[in-house]
Structure 1
């Protein structure tokens, strides 16, 4: 099925489109507010099964690690540590050449 066919199928239904700019703004506001979306859901929808709980824990850990990596990358920490490692390696090579 082509993209055009899928588009035509979806447009035949009730055509409700969310403007991308508004959606992105809303998502940015949710992220900036540190709102726990689960806190506004009904209690029966927030009780995870054991399988869901493991998936949520894995997702939470992935997000935490991803944010740490992005912060490290954005701060230039990788380059700084790489330069330190390279300096130590050069010193060790010079020491080995001196023996």
Structure 2
């Protein structure tokens, strides 16, 4: 994903590599001044059964009743209730 709008260096062509991507090094180029350019190529993942987080379709869950598995749409976002933030712990008193 392009992160130009969020980068400290907006003129650079930076990207964010998402988890689950597998890349192969194609070439290395020492550009001097402690800068190395690395050319990468995305490959087919070793474990393709892991769902990519960039999937655009909504996730589905499987509900099993007796011995018949039936897909059930994921819960709508209106029924999701976020957990409240944990309360801070009281300060620790030093023992003399």
| TM-score, length-scaled by structure 1 | 0.19
| TM-score, length-scaled by structure 2 | 0.19
Structure richer in helix, relative to its length = 1
Structure richer in strand, relative to its length = 2
